[in-house]
Amino acid sequence: MCALSAGPDSSALLALAVAARLDVRAVHVHHGLRNHADHDADAAARIAAHFGVDLCVEHAALGDGPNLEARARTVRHRLVGAQGIWGHTADDQAETLLLALMRGSGATGLSAIEPGPAHPLLALRRTETHALCADLGLSPVTDASNADPRFRRNRVRNELIPLLDAIAERDITSLLVRSAGLLGDDDAFLDELAGALDPTDAKALSAAPRPLARRAIRRWLSVDGYPPDAEAVQRVLAVASGDVVACEVTGVGRISRSAQRLRREPQAGTETGA
């Protein structure tokens, strides 16, 4: 199931999926946010038809406002579905790492987009997807919002990375992609080690190396795939060590210690267990 925005990356994704003789279908998410949204949907239909691929156009009811990029991303993933594949490239990987660095992320965030079947183009550059579209005679759309400086990713793409290239006097994207890969390997290894640690065992948690203890807590207290922030994890560690009696974790509830075990008491309207 190819996510087809009708831009160069997703158009190249569709072309390569067909060339690989996959059983291909495509989904275009019509956000309805831009004046040319209908034009984008028409372009997606033309590109899908060019390859003889069935296209489903899904309409999203999104309004402009705070966290627009994050909200649009959530809607796209929901509408495309768990079996979707995406046209993210090495350039997207580099941008994602830098954005995570600005948020103060650890290894998990800095490993950026997880390589795998859902992201088959991560080894390609945008110049390559554009060149492929040109070679195939496709006419992908240009998203004018990619130049809008109110979106932080656009400033990273259009301002920060060119500046880093100039300072480093080389292509910084390839270095960032390599760093993301190394951090991703480290992250997976630490996750495996942390999986053996019971986060409700206060004594074991306090005795464990801090990187593993923090990971065990984040896994235990994640809500809809979103772990608690670093300060909340530190508060839970303080409960485990007996420095404080209990603490609150936003979206999770109250974490307390009794008989060397940590327990979580849900906030009103939240169902969760010990």
Q: What is the pLDDT of residues 118-136, one digit of tens each?
A: 999 999 999 999 999 999 9
101 CB-near residues (< 8 Å, 6+ apart): 110
With left for phi above 0 and alpha for psi between -120 and 50, is residue 137 left, alpha or beta? Answer: left
Q: What is the pLDDT of residues 181-196, one digit of tens each?
A: 999 999 999 999 999 9
The whole-angstrom separation of Cα 119 and Cα 13 is: 10
34 and 120 both lie in a single domain: yes
Looking at residue 157, what DSSP letter applies? I
Give the distance from CA 135 to its chain's centroid. 30
Residue 8 reports pLDDT greater than 70: yes
Structural domain containing residue 12: 2-89+115-144
* pLDDT surpassing 90 at residue 224: no
Question: What value does the mean pLDDT take over residues 84-103?
Answer: 96
- Residue 67: per-residue pLDDT: 67
Average pLDDT over the chain, rounded to whole?
Answer: 91
Residue 274 lies in a domain: no
DSSP state of 114: P
Q: What is the pLDDT of residue 34?
A: 63
**What span, in angstroms and rounded, lies between the C-alpha atoms of 87 and 262?**
42
Identity of the residue numbered 112: A
Q: For residue 9, what are the CA distances in angstroms to 2, 3, 224?
A: 11, 10, 29
How many domains does the structure of the chain reveal?
A: 2
Domain co-membership, 131 together with 256:
no
Quick check: is 69 in a domain? yes
Q: What is the CATH number of the domain that holds 80?
A: 3.40.50.620
Do 131 and 52 have their domain in common?
yes
Q: Does 209 lie in the same domain as 138?
A: no
- From 128, 144, 160, give the residue that closes a domain: 144
Strand partners, 223: 226
Span 196-210, average pLDDT: 96
User: Which token pair is 151?
Assistant: 């979106």
Is 52 inside a domain boundary?
yes
Q: What is the rounded radius of gyration, in angstroms, for the C-alpha atoms of the chain?
A: 22
Q: Where are the beta strands (DSSP E) in the chain?
A: 2-3, 25-30, 54-59, 246-249, 253-258, 261-266
Note whether 17 and 84 are within 8 A (CB): no
> What Cα–Cα distance (Å) separates residue 140 from each residue in 5, 7, 102, 243?
9, 5, 31, 59
**Stretch among 44-58, 84-98, 182-196, 260-274 having the lowest mean pLDDT:** 260-274
**Over residues 30-58, mean pLDDT:** 87
Is 73 contained in some domain? yes
CA 149 – CA 147 distance, rounded (Å): 6
Same domain, 46 and 135: yes
Mean per-residue pLDDT for 75-84? 87
